[in-house]
Amino acid sequence: MANQNTLPLYDKYWVKHTLSRVMDSLTLLLLLLLLGYRINIFSHSNYTFPCLVAFICESWFTFSWILVISTKWSPAYTKTYIHRLLLRVPEGELPAVDLFVTTADPVLEPPIITINTVLSLLALDYPHNKLACYVSDDGCSPLTFYALIEAFQFAKLWVPFCKKYNIQLRVPFRYFSNNTSTDNNEDTPEFMQDWLKMKNEYERLTRKILNATKNSIPLVGEFAIFSDTQPRNHPTIIKVIWENKEGLSDELPHLIYVSREKKQEHPHQYKAGAMNVLYLGGGLAGLQGIFYLGTNCMHRRKVIYGLSPYHGIQNGKKDHGVSNGKFSEKKTIFGTSKGFVESATHALEGKTFTPNNNICKSLEAASEVSSCEYEYGTAWGKQVGWMYGSTSEDLLTGLKIHTKGWRSEVCSPELSPFMGCSPQDILVVIGQQKRWISGLLDILLSKHCPIFGTLFGKLQFRQCLGYLWITTWSLRPVPEICYAALPAYCIINNSSFLPKELGQWIPATLLVIYNVSTLLENLKIGLSIRTWCNNQRMARITTMNSWFFGFLAILLKRLRISNIGFEITRKDETFSNEGANENDGRFIFNKSPVFIPGTTILLIQLTALVTMWLGWQPPVRNNGHGSGVGEVFCSTYLVVCYWPFLKGLFEKGKYGIPLSTICKSMALAFLFVYLCKAN
């Protein structure tokens, strides 16, 4: 029998997914055949303008699909054995872990969501004297601070309750939701009594925070420091809500509130800046590792501090001096705080830093590193910490980490440890998608482009293709909008862009195989056919609307016409099935120009179909091919995808497309029809 101390803490398994590989390869083969058909037509000088546009768009789709295949080809998953950890490492030798929670707006990100995250972290099954939870409030809200104080009082009851009954689901709003049973431990009178007590205490906590949301908090006592603050103009505020002074494993972890200094004349780098202040205190798994996508991630401190995995065998200059050099050299990287530089040095050397003083005595140093000017002239955001220069700061930071040669792993236990809040209506989805795409394009067009990471860094080639796959999403709106306009153009002009005769089977087969393969993948992970249909529809809507405006935002930024800001995603405050969202299944529209492309595409497809039905098409010219079943099918497919927009044309109120948007889209549609007729 193997020695328990020598057994691995995890195993990594590679999955072949033969069927998926075959379907993806067939899709690529058909795309190449389609391009070959186009090239053959061009060689005989028998092509039209729609065919040329189709060839350019299909070339892009083929390139994108190659990136998809490379990313999906060798998936892997990791199985961990947590029960072996304490057999290998004594509890006293486990590393200290800092837990970071970020929030920026108490309206868009209600405090009740923030404190549920904090409560789940305070109840982690880990020695509490090794944990410290930092809450970064970029909105400098007294409401958030109040909610944390009240949440800590509830945590004094919640954490012991979780430990006593070995509760696995430690997020209160999920645990006490209607669909959660109470018999996960034992259905004893004592447990039921404690369960009801905890449920009542949580409901009391929720009511107190809700009342504080509706009524302003008196800015006296501990809250007096918020009396002369604004979200984008305030001094550093650091409050130690709880300190585990005795260092006992059964006490609650440290809980610290941090709101970094902000001044209107100083750029604050959005979420990346907030994360850097705190740090003073599927298929990719088979390659170099999963992307860093914002949350539920764990980082080794020395990695965030800019160390490469090769620092022991390479010249120290390769790490920009982070692991070697005198204090005078390190302060140009980490800043002038001697205490922090000492802490960073210990982390880089793999040592545990244990300061002599307690947390409360470190507030002066913490305030120093939280000031607006602290990062000036340092490497923060450039070589160390979370990277600046993109609204997708998470992906950029992960890219820099992989470029240094580090690998990442994805851990997916049977019970999901943390779950995020997804947007609940189309307005939030579009805003979030626009921000992501603008950030991705910023990365693609910058010195951080994945290609440079492979040429001049340690980014593996296929990992580079994976990053190109996700960053080139930002370019996809252009070919997709052009391709979506082709069916309507051909119907109105009575021309064709699809292959004819035997060649027509290429796009038909491609359509079938692609949709069957994506449907099978959705069914395999437990999604329904209806969900698959919605995903296909939303892919068309988000790409041609929010992604397109994200692309335009960066284009205008690069031309120095306008700049972009960070848009906070609104979180939904409904946690149970009670009072179902009235907007479920319905699109909400407003006067934002982001709805103009989709409305215009819908109108030109409807115009094309009406033109065909009424027989208003011109005769076929130059013995060419007129529009046929293929063009009509494509146009009808787009109308089905934009069915919510079609209903929005006739709805009123928030479910209806505003008249101003309809008028602008009609003007663009008429211009499109005019250009079709002119050609």
Q: Is residue 630 part of a domain?
A: yes
Q: Is residue 457 part of a domain?
A: no
Number of domains, the chain: 3
Claim to verify: residue 509 and residue 591 sit in the same structural domain: yes
Q: Is residue 445 part of a domain?
A: no
Q: Check if the beta carbon of residue 133 is closer than 8 Å to that of residue 253.
A: yes
Domain span at residue 422? Answer: 280-310+320-428
Decide the pairing of beta strands 131-137 and 97-103.
parallel
Claim to verify: residue 181 and residue 217 sit in the same structural domain: yes
Q: Count other C-beta atoms under 10 Å from residue 356's C-beta.
A: 5
**Region of poorest pLDDT, from 205-214, 403-412, 592-601:** 403-412
Residue 336 pLDDT grade (very low, low, confident, very high; cuts 50, 70, 90): confident
Higher pLDDT pick, 576 / 347: 347
* Residue 98, both tokens: 């800092």
Residue 279 pLDDT grade (very low, low, confident, very high; cuts 50, 70, 90): very low
Of 428, 447, 478, the position where a domain reaches its end is 428
Q: Which of 24, 137, 319, 394 is catalytic?
A: 394
261 marked ligand binding residue: no
138 marked ligand binding residue: yes
Q: Is residue 81 part of a domain?
A: no
Claim to verify: residue 530 and residue 641 sit in the same structural domain: yes
Residue-level pLDDT at 96: 85
Claim to verify: residue 187 and residue 225 sit in the same structural domain: yes
584 tagged catalytic = no
d(Cα 118, Cα 153) in Å, to the nearest integer? 12
Claim to verify: residue 221 and residue 184 sit in the same structural domain: yes
**Region of poorest pLDDT, from 373-382, 391-400, 441-450:** 373-382
- The pTM for the full model equals 0.86
Q: Is residue 537 part of a domain?
A: yes
C-alpha angle 68/71/75, rounded to 5°? Answer: 130
Of 379, 405, 428, the position where a domain reaches its end is 428
d(Cα 100, Cα 612) in Å, to the nearest integer? 59
Claim to verify: residue 516 and residue 664 sit in the same structural domain: yes
Claim to verify: residue 284 and residue 254 sit in the same structural domain: no
Q: Whose CA is closest to 263, among 140, 95, 102?
A: 140
Claim to verify: residue 230 and residue 375 sit in the same structural domain: no
Residue-level pLDDT at 139: 82
Segment 292-307 shows an average pLDDT of 82
pLDDT at 316 over 50: no
Q: Is residue 306 part of a domain?
A: yes
pLDDT at 184 over 90: no
Claim to verify: residue 239 and residue 349 sit in the same structural domain: no
d(Cα 458, Cα 456) in Å, to the nearest integer? 7
pLDDT at 491 over 90: yes
| Mean per-residue pLDDT over the chain, rounded | 83
* Residue 93, both tokens: 């030798």
Q: Is residue 11 part of a domain?
A: no
d(Cα 43, Cα 330) in Å, to the nearest integer? 62
d(Cα 399, Cα 453) in Å, to the nearest integer? 8
Q: Whose CA is closest to 487, among 57, 30, 36?
A: 57
Residue-level pLDDT at 88: 84
Q: Is residue 657 part of a domain?
A: yes
11 tagged catalytic = no
User: Which H or E run contains 295?
Assistant: none
Claim to verify: residue 513 and residue 384 sit in the same structural domain: no
* Residue 168, both tokens: 């696995």
Residue with tokens 């529809």, as numbered in its chain: 537
Length of the chain: 679
Percentage of the chain exceeding pLDDT 70: 84
Q: Which of 137, 138, 319, 442 is catalytic?
A: 138
Claim to verify: residue 115 and residue 249 sit in the same structural domain: yes
Segment 222-232 shows an average pLDDT of 81
Residue 322 pLDDT grade (very low, low, confident, very high; cuts 50, 70, 90): low
Claim to verify: residue 359 and residue 248 sit in the same structural domain: no
Q: Check if the beta carbon of residue 157 is closer than 8 Å to that of residue 123.
A: no
Of 379, 401, 428, the position where a domain reaches its end is 428
Q: CB neighbours of 88 closer than 8 A, spacing ≥ 6?
A: 5, 9
